[in-house]
Chain A
């Protein structure tokens, strides 16, 4: 049966095809919408007047069509038991040893089965799991009596989703298996080229590895470099070091960095925020918990100093010291490494200049600090010796733009360069 565009109503005799819901070969029920037509007045869906199989669609999305135009043909079911073979478009496959999986069946649209406005048939436990996984049960076909959805149906649905997700991945030379998403690890025999020793990766090393990959692959990183003149800070440090020592505190550069960072974060709250990827909200935090990267024998750990904005330089110096000690002894609790809002990685004690730190997810920025070096600097019109600190600020470009970062690092440098004796004096 050929179906032509029916009259749409007063004054509407043409429209633009907005969406086509079916493709040739699809089986359709009577009154199932075939396409959506946009006219000046409204969007109308055009149903098929009979049940059957769509044999031809004569229009494509974007076409303007007039009343009476041929839009599709449908072979009525029941007339003759005719089975339309699904058309499988095979991509050219080159010498693949594995059998190619048949393409998964397309997902059902939200099912119209059952009574509209009545939730899909599934027990409370299945509904709970679906909520947890974010699965819309109206799209899941139930296999039990009355279309009841059971665990096996959910499993099948997830498997199908995965297959479809894989199918939509860019075509490439990967084998047709889920592993194609990530090349399978290959073991290389390094002993071919010389003597080797092997050692198991520690749990911590594996955790660091996973975390770094996660951050590096999910966050678009940009690193902004800058130098800060810390000659004055070092002078202050030297002046007050003894006084701090009397209180058992070792006044290093890091407490100054903490203070300067928090002052700058207060001006730029975006750098103290996180992205809630589920709700697509920006979460601004009204607290300043700064992570400090600590180099331990086993590897990198990042304990967090809480409420840095409420602590004095002396308190920070004391806490930093004992936190670093406890971290090196692996005595920090997991909780002490959570809840950070920004991280500082200070490698100044070891050496090296600028580097590009990796963001400590779900934070959105990290400051990498290199070793301060005495350099000739033009100060006024004179060439003078100053100590210059290399800074690298990596940030999450999803949330933070380059201009934000430039402003942030400029303010950070200004904060580092403006410490006064009164700020340090006990």
Chain B
């Protein structure tokens, strides 16, 4: 069979895949993008970041309405039309996926719908609806992403046991919902279902939810979730699930006891599995680790010099923007440039209520690595802007190298923290100092002021908090 020749083939069309395909095409390469589903955009766009944020917005409206009574506004009990809500979500997703398709068309990126399978290091077989196609290429970029993990013990084939994908379909609002896993997916979707009316029990095997972020950033989230959820069980382990009439019977271990409970639905959010199997990687020199993540170097090149891997499938933090950045690093590398993923700052955002966001060095990591850093904090209870919408439950902090006053990390919790972290990322990437941040005007009244005030707090002269002990030399040598 005659093969189709191209310069670059990208397998997968998520935020890693399409970013790579578009960037390579913009730089003059002939590109084919292969997608196994009928729609472009990958998990993030179709069953991940985007739909979950749409629902979180809806949940927020309900919460805001409910919280408005003391402001003198009463809305009454909201009535929900799940079909319309789902259609609204699908509208957003459809618009974005269509956007990706037309952006591909405009750039001359050929989209091939079908599963991709590597025949050898330079040939990809694509199973399209019209039959097999063989693509030979100079370079391939694997961007097949990951999928929600479903431990075999929970996989009963019962649709009442959901992963995030099914949960986002919003088939119904279960009366009782068990969320297994206190990571960001469990917390975000738990918040959505709780607001829509489910009674939520969340179980987490570790001793904290949202591991990886600093404990002080998590506290306000836990506090709020404790009110919104029926219960949060830490160090709890689900042992068994079984179908019981219209419900799921769950056996779990908690507080040294085994308990058995019935739930209308269960959301399993215990991590994600890379989509690296069934790609024919064994026909190439590509190596994977024991968990199935493709091994890459700092230019995202696999052990097979013709093949690169980016995004979730290449491991590291599983975040869309990390995939998009890696897309550019890989394409630059294909062009022979000295791009590198080393030392890039990847912000993390959790869209809980309130939001948590951090970038660069965390306080916990500094402690663990025994780095001598200092931390400056500014509580949002001192932010006028936060008070105008009744959300003083926030905090901004800077992790600082005292020798150079360079900002090494920024962490935040509070409403819109996900938007605010961008300034922190820029500060770290530009190696800004606390002084730089302190001397940059931040508009009033905005939440962004909390970054500037945290910088002032480092010198002990933040306007809106009083700290009797001045720690570092401020302006004009006011040190005592």
Q: Hey, which bits of chain A sit against chain B, CB under 8 A?
A: 113-119, 121-124, 127-128, 131-132, 145-149
Which 3 A-B pairs rank lowest in CB-CB distance, beginning with the nearest? Answer: A121-B431, A146-B433, A131-B338
User: How many angstroms between the C-alpha atoms of A124 and B435 in the bound complex?
Assistant: 20
Q: Does B408 sit within 8 A of A, measured CB to CB?
A: yes
- Which chain B residue has the least Cβ–Cβ distance from A130? B338
Question: How many pairs of A and B residues are in contact by the CB < 8 Å rule?
Answer: 59
A-B CB contact pairs (8 Å), 7 listed: A113-B403, A121-B431, A123-B431, A128-B338, A132-B337, A145-B436, A148-B431
User: How many angstroms between the C-alpha atoms of A145 and B432 in the bound complex?
Assistant: 8
Q: 11 more A-B contacts (CB under 8 A) besides A131-B339, A146-B431, A148-B430?
A: A114-B404, A115-B401, A115-B408, A123-B429, A124-B344, A127-B343, A128-B338, A131-B340, A132-B337, A146-B436, A148-B432
Q: Is the CB of B406 within 8 A of A146?
A: yes
Given A115-B372, A115-B373: A147 and B430 within 8 A (CB)? no
Q: Is the CB of A117 within 8 A of B369?
A: yes
Q: Does B371 sit within 8 A of A, measured CB to CB?
A: yes
Q: Which of B404-446 contact A (CB under 8 A)?
A: 404-406, 408, 429-433, 435-436
Q: Is the CB of B433 within 8 A of A114?
A: no
Point out the residues of chain B lying under 8 angstroms from A127, CB to CB.
343
Q: Is the CB of B338 within 8 A of A121?
A: no
Point out the residues of chain B lying under 8 angstroms from A124, CB to CB.
344, 429
Given A116-B371, A145-B435, A145-B436: A123 and B338 within 8 A (CB)? no
Point out the residues of chain B lying under 8 angstroms from A123, CB to CB.
429-431
Q: Does B361 sit within 8 A of A, measured CB to CB?
A: yes
Point out the residues of chain B lying under 8 angstroms from A115, CB to CB.
371-373, 401, 403, 408
Residue from the set B344, B404, B435 with the largest chain A CB neighbour count within 10 Å: B404
Given A121-B431, A124-B429, A131-B338: A114 and B401 within 8 A (CB)? yes
- Which chain A residue has the least Cβ–Cβ distance from B433? A146
User: How many angstroms between the C-alpha atoms of A127 and B329 in the bound complex?
Assistant: 13
Give the size of the chain B interface in residues (CB under 8 angstroms): 25
Residue from the set A119, A127, A146 with the largest chain B CB neighbour count within 10 Å: A146
- Which chain A residue has the least Cβ–Cβ distance from B429? A124
Point out the residues of chain B lying under 8 angstroms from A119, CB to CB.
342-343
Point out the residues of chain A lying under 8 angstroms from B401, CB to CB.
114-115, 118, 146
Contact residue among B340, B342, B372, B433 (Cβ-Cβ distance under 8 Å from A145): B433
User: How many angstroms between the C-alpha atoms of A147 and B344 in the bound complex?
Assistant: 19
- Which chain A residue has the least Cβ–Cβ distance from B404? A146
Point out the residues of chain B lying under 8 angstroms from A131, CB to CB.
338-340
User: How many angstroms between the C-alpha atoms of A148 and B340 in the bound complex?
Assistant: 20
Point out the residues of chain A lying under 8 angstroms from B344, CB to CB.
124
Q: Shortest distance in angstroms between A113's beta carbon and chain B's nearest beta carbon?
A: 7
- Which chain A residue has the least Cβ–Cβ distance from B343? A119
Q: Which of B212-231 contact A (CB under 8 A)?
A: none
Point out the residues of chain B lying under 8 angstroms from A122, CB to CB.
431
Given A119-B343, A127-B343: A146 and B371 within 8 A (CB)? no
Q: Is the CB of B371 within 8 A of A147?
A: no
- Which chain B residue has the least Cβ–Cβ distance from A131? B338
